Structure 1
Amino acid sequence: MSSRERILGRVRRALADAPGEDTPIERAYLREHGDRSVEETTDLLAENLADYRAIVHRCSPDDLAVTLAGMLAARGAKTVLVPPGLDPAWLADADAEQVPDRLESTPHELDRIDSVVTACAVAVAETGTIVLDGGPDQGRRRITLVPDHHICVVRVPDQVVGSVPQALERLDPVRPLTWISGPSATSDIELDRVEGVHGPRTLEVVLVGAQPSAEANS
């Protein structure tokens, strides 16, 4: 008997009493940690987004256009990249030149854009994560990775969930999913943090439908 046969024999004996392939797997983990109201879930999302150094704003749907215009003006943005399915009313008050996302746009052209505004697919409160799925109001993945400033609009409460399992239930796994927890950042061996390496240096999130914040009113 060869060494290979001895090893495989031991593996077979060890698996002799293992459940068969058709045995259902028990998934007894918690789907959400705690019982929170919509307001508490939204507050947790805002807290965790800020903890990851995202800038969080809150406004009502009626104030979204003026809020976005104010954010772009404060940033000094001259150009803003717009996904094809973004609601035109969102940027109706913006002074920045609106640049449509084009298939032929090169990375160098995208790098010259000051800001990009998108919606999202879902936001996870417990992890402070925004998920994009390449929908018409979010555009292709690269338009949120190349420009240095990303503004993401989250509809509250429709797009806010408490946990990752709840988010996965809403997402299509065959779509190009991008999970964002704060601005792009990395650290070297000495733990010096550098932002903007793999994506935008600045991430601003607008929670629409939540209680307006001081940032949104400023």
Structure 2
Amino acid sequence: MKRSIITTSDGSKTIQIEGWNEQYHSIHGALQEAKHVYINAGLKTFLERQPKQNALTVLEIGFGTGLNALLTALESLNISQEICYHGIEAYPVEAEELQALGYHTLIGSDPSIFQNIHNCSWHETHKILPHFSIVKRQAFFSDIAEVNAFDVIYFDAFGPRVQPNLWIESIFKKMYEALRPNGLLVTYCAKGSVRRCMQAVGFEVERLPGPPGKREMLRAIKL
């Protein structure tokens, strides 16, 4: 399926899958969406609620371009907690596409951080920064089998319009089981059917203001 690099409204780039008319990030701002949904509503909210926790584990469903991982790594420079990041991706992005995205240039970070995240081997733990390590896992989302293992889940799969099988009750049951008590799941998608699937498996779900171009997003809590 044909893919192309496009520029979103905030100047950051994303990958477009032309046959699906679907993008890896919001066309209204890839960087703004990632910060709003995953960093602010997810990571930072968890740290504010659990300030005494010395370490946390993040699971990303849809590692994709690595933008969320990069932003999380950069956030680790401002905190004392250790972050262990697990990125799940069935179909890794090509090196040429990653270079064309230029996220390290846009954000103004040390380019070696983004490069090291993508160059490190899969299925092994790698220390990228003093408080940030990563395990990239080439797997399907349905392969998740951990129980009480994660504090924050970034649910960043392609939308239910093109991959409805990823937004169903059985998947969110796996997510619920994978989270520790008081853990958070955040996603850009605010569809009523998705919210009801989350609630059906035990999540308490909040509808929050969305990033540019979206009225709402969802944050689910395992109490």
| The two structures share one fold, judged by TM-score above 0.5 | no
Q: Could you say which structure has the larger radius of gyration?
A: 1
Q: Which has the higher strand share?
A: 2
For normalisation by structure 1, the TM-score amounts to 0.30
Bigger relative contact order, structure 1 or 2, given CA contacts below 8 A and separation 6+? 1
